[in-house]
Structure 1
Amino acid sequence: MRVCLIASSRYPVREPFAGGLEALTHQLARLLVRRGHEVTLFAAAGSDPALPVSLVGAATFAASDTARRDVNAPSDAWIAEHHAYLGLMLDLGRTGAARFDVVHNNSLHHLPVAMASLLDVPLITTLHTPPTPWLESAIATDHHASDFAAVSRATAAAWAHVVPSTVVLNGVDTDTWTPGPGGGPAVWSGRLVPEKAPHEAIDAARLAGVPLVLAGPAPDERYFQDVVAPRLGRDAVHVGHLDHRALARLLRRASVAVVTPDWDEPYGLVAAEALACGTPVAAYARGALAELVTDDVGGLAAPGSVPALAAAIEHARGRDRAAARARAVTHLSAERMVGDYEALYARIAGHEAAA
């Protein structure tokens, strides 16, 4: 099939990834091509040129100095993002049916959803977050214009009052995230921001008597300096933003991965990555994490309870690494995810034979 993938116009699809959404889009594009599909990727400038796809860079726009003097003028970033998606959707409205069999929207922007009725090619939007007002309002313009998938049962349930969706669990590349011996420190990975609560991972690991390595970017400098940095020490170190290869090496050696969302995590890609490395997971039971982490491969704790998380860390460290790997391969792999999307593409495009 001929597939157009819509990604973020803000963050390039390349390593080290800005977040799970960019990582997911990268592997989805790569694996779709491997399985014989023709893929075009709309993404931010600077995306991975080695991806075997046609890259379409986001359109740019710069307001005049006169326009910027308007007291109600939005930010340049808002204008650039708006015009990037507006230009894309207008282009797809004109020529999309001749070029593509399906358009798969993985952005968080409202315009691909709001303008879906302009297209003569089916569009499917994956819901990667809990409901937001801009996406709810876009869906309200014509909720029949797009089909919807959700990255977990928890996310589908959160959106059920707005629109029905097909659950397609995210997946990780089990050829990249491979098993290792474990036995090392605990690992926390992700963006070091308040809603991910890495400071609680430090407190819980320290309470459990387990050294912790934190890996990831720190985009919120004030939070990092005020809350995270004072907690760092010999038993809790931050190693920076790692690419997937380096992070996989770290996870293979880890005895446990710690996941501490301070919000209802729509999926929890870092948990799936750890399990693929054979590393059990200790996590707060929020959002979709209970769909990923079962008792035989980790431990779940009451959200926000550092003592409960410390107990979950101790429990998870005793889980079988082979069982963790097996769960990832069977339920959380990228190959399974792409197969589910292939079937969904075929259904909405009327190409059932391609599924």
Structure 2
Amino acid sequence: MKLLFVSTPVGALGSGLGGGVELSLYNIAQEMMRRGHDLQIVAPAGSAWDNLPIVQISGNLQIIAQSLEREAAIAMPENSVLANMWDYVRQVEDEYDLIVNFAYDWLPFYLTPFLKRPVAHFVSMGSLADALDQIIIQISQQFSGTIGFYTAAQAATFPELTPPIYYLSSGIDLSLYQFCSEPKQQLAWLGRISPEKGLEDAFAVAESTTIPLKVMGKIQDESYWQKIQQDYPNAPIEYLGFVSTKEMQRVLRECRALIMTPRWVEAFGNVAIEALACGVPVISYSRGGPASIIQDGETGFLVEPDSIDGLIVATKQLDRINRQTCRDRTQKEFSLEALGERFEKWFVDILNFQP
């Protein structure tokens, strides 16, 4: 197949601004190329990731959907990189069999009926905006089977989707994650630092248990970050910044557990499978995607949402978890090969459904 991947417009690939969808796009692209498909990626200027074939498009970045109200009007900045990326798509679409949209934004869905080539939409978040919900539902009705999600829990936040709906999960290059059987007395928290990620609850766990917490990720909301530090001055925290996969897994693998504290319905949670790949159990609120990844009591613990006490109790039971079981589950379900099988089947199904 000749595939045209269109990235998120909220940040350059490799910047961390796009969150988990950046890693998903990267891994899917690598696996599709390994399988022999021709691939081009359209992404904002400044994108750079290994040897991926990227066309860089200039323009002003899109505001992240999480920061907007549900009833907010659709808006784009002047000289929008989102509009510029899709204008480029329109110019080159005849060269490709399938366009794959990774942007959680209204415009690509709206443009779908006007394009000559089919568009596969990989939806990277749960329901956040009424206008976007409406257009996603409309496209699911009009273009059968072209909407894909990470998990059923994520898809359930959108009302009245028309089947077939594809649940594609995620996957990682397991060779990049080294197993560690003997961790240090420390915990980890990974992700974008913004209110919907609930980082303050992990601070509370660190403060209560006195177990050091390693924090890694892009600071997306500086005022939120400053407030957490002020609210938990005695928490044993070390912020390591937004680091490479190599550095992240070096720290993560030596942790007793990864703490996940989502305030919203997390679509998946790539950080969970990154932790499991290192043999690190995951303690998470039982909300959204993580609940489909973690086997409670076997690869970590699922805790009542927003229960800090539940997180603390779980940290005291980590000796029950076999770290090798965590690694084995990742190899079985979240390898690049498994990811590639799911996405390749979806792409072929879409092309076969075309009139």
TM-score normalized by the length of structure 2: 0.87
Q: State the match for 1:43 in structure 2.
A: 43
Q: How many residues align?
A: 335
Residues 49 and 270 of structure 1: is their aligned pair in 2 closer, same or farther, counting only changes over 3 Å? closer
Q: Deviations over 1:128-168 (max 9, x none)?
A: 11123232232355532361111011012222523432110
Q: State the match for 2:229 in structure 1.
A: 228
Q: Deviations over 1:180-236 (max 9, x none)?
A: 234221111111211111111121233234221111122211111112355255722
Q: Deviations over 1:253-278 (max 9, x none)?
A: 11111111011111111111101111
State the structure with more CA Rg. Answer: 1
| Percent identical | 24
Amino acid at match of 2:84: A
Distance 1:173 1:160 in 2: 34
Q: State the match for 2:67 in structure 1.
A: none
Q: State the match for 1:169 in structure 2.
A: 169
Q: State the match for 1:69 in structure 2.
A: none
Amino acid at match of 1:244: T
The answer on 1:157 being equivalent to 2:160 is: no
Distance 1:118 1:75 in 2: 20
Distance 1:39 1:48 in 2: 15
Q: What secondary structure is seen at the aligned counterpart in 2 of 1:158?
A: coil
Residues 82 and 245 of structure 1: is their aligned pair in 2 closer, same or farther, counting only changes over 3 Å? closer
Note the C-alpha offset of 1:89: 4.7
Unmatched runs of 5 consecutive residues or more in structure 1: 62-73
Amino acid at match of 1:179: F
Which one of the candidate residues 301, 310, 322 is aligned to 2:312? 310
Does the aligned pair in 1 maintain the 2:203–2:235 contact within 8 Å? no
Residues 78 and 155 of structure 1: is their aligned pair in 2 closer, same or farther, counting only changes over 3 Å? farther
Distance 2:191 2:182 in 1: 20
Note the C-alpha offset of 1:49: 5.5
Residues 234 and 200 of structure 1: is their aligned pair in 2 closer, same or farther, counting only changes over 3 Å? closer
Distance 1:15 1:33 in 2: 22
Amino acid at match of 1:343: K
Distance 1:312 1:251 in 2: 18
Q: What secondary structure is seen at the aligned counterpart in 1 of 2:120?
A: strand
Residues 316 and 104 of structure 1: is their aligned pair in 2 closer, same or farther, counting only changes over 3 Å? farther
Does the aligned pair in 2 maintain the 1:256–1:317 contact within 8 Å? no
Which segment is superposed worse, 178-187 or 130-139? 130-139
Q: How does 1:240-319 map to 2 (within 5 A)?
A: 240-294=241-295, 295-319=297-321
Q: Deviations over 1:43-77 (max 9, x none)?
A: 11111153332x2222548xxxxxxxxxxxx9873
Which one of the candidate residues 98, 119, 122 is aligned to 1:123? 119
Q: What secondary structure is seen at the aligned counterpart in 2 of 1:203?
A: helix
Note the C-alpha offset of 1:121: 1.9
Distance 1:75 1:201 in 2: 34
Q: State the match for 1:144 in structure 2.
A: 142
Q: State the match for 2:201 in structure 1.
A: 200
Distance 1:22 1:300 in 2: 26
Distance 2:334 2:210 in 1: 30
Note the C-alpha offset of 1:343: 0.9
Which segment is superposed worse, 24-33 or 266-275? 24-33
Residues 260 and 126 of structure 1: is their aligned pair in 2 closer, same or farther, counting only changes over 3 Å? same
Distance 2:162 2:315 in 1: 37
Note the C-alpha offset of 1:288: 1.5
Q: Once superposed, what is the RMSD of the aligned Cα atoms?
A: 2.4
Runs of 4 or more above 4 Å deviation = 15-18
Unmatched runs of 5 consecutive residues or more in structure 2: 61-73
TM-score normalized by the length of structure 1: 0.87
Does the aligned pair in 2 maintain the 1:194–1:223 contact within 8 Å? yes
Q: State the match for 1:71 in structure 2.
A: none
Q: What secondary structure is seen at the aligned counterpart in 1 of 2:105?
A: coil
